[in-house]
Amino acid sequence: MNQTELLRDFLQNKMKMSHVYQPLIIRSLLQAAGTATIRQLAQDLLMEDESQLLYYEDRLKNMPLRILTKHGIVERDGDLVSLKTEGLTFKERSELRLLCEGRLSEFLEKRGLSVWDYRLIEASPVGDSLRYEVLKESGGRCSLCRVTEGDARLEVDHIVPRSKGGSNAKENLQVLCDRCNRGKSNRDDTDFR
């Protein structure tokens, strides 16, 4: 079996999927003519992640777009967002883009990675044995919708978020499926157990 047949056979018969990752990775690599960086693969995954996209769409509509509209910077027509500034020259456009870059890097320098994703902060610190213990005590079910491991991805969630000083103590941990966890905003400290 040559390498192409091996890949075809893997895709058709051997690949056991517990998530969409494997075919997405292979598809990305095929699109990139065979080689991609991990960062590129992650970006491709992100583009396919409907839940992340919905999350950001929601976020955009709620705050920043509302503020930009209020200040007369952008206007919205349903799903379309437009700058109210029209007829910019190439030079003006570059200048304004540089201003954006400047404000961005200034802010990121001050605040660091935490600007982007509280999940990043929350994902790391629960150790494997603690995770196992919390999962075991939950009976392998989401504390909110009671879905089991086979039907959804279960996550160990901080009842009081890490970003608000919540600890890794077992009392502050509960099992949620990925869907409920995303539905629970970071502001919500509800203990669902």
Of 64 and 139, the one with the shorter C-beta distance to Zn ion is 139
Of 40 and 149, the one with the shorter C-beta distance to Zn ion is 149
d(CA 65, CA 56): 12
Kindly state the smallest distance separating residue 52's Cβ from Zn ion, in Å: 18
H/E run at residue 13 = none
Of 156 and 180, the one with the shorter C-beta distance to Zn ion is 180
Gyration radius (Cα) of the chain, Å: 22
Contact between 179 and 144 under an 8 Å Cβ cutoff? The reply is no
Tell me which amino acid residue 179 is.
Answer: R
Kindly state the smallest distance separating residue 55's Cβ from Zn ion, in Å: 16
Kindly state the smallest distance separating residue 177's Cβ from Zn ion, in Å: 3
Q: Which residues bind Zn ion (CB under 5 A)?
A: 142, 144-145, 147, 177, 180
| End-to-end Cα distance, the chain | 53
Strands 80-83 and 74-77 come out as antiparallel
Kindly state the smallest distance separating residue 192's Cβ from Zn ion, in Å: 9
Of 147 and 173, the one with the shorter C-beta distance to Zn ion is 147
Kindly state the smallest distance separating residue 149's Cβ from Zn ion, in Å: 11
* CA angle (132, 134, 136) in 5-degree steps: 65
Of 126 and 147, the one with the shorter C-beta distance to Zn ion is 147
Kindly state the smallest distance separating residue 136's Cβ from Zn ion, in Å: 17
d(CA 146, CA 8): 38
133-136: Cβ within 8 A, 24+ apart:
133/170, 134/170, 134/173, 134/174, 134/175, 135/175
Of 126 and 180, the one with the shorter C-beta distance to Zn ion is 180
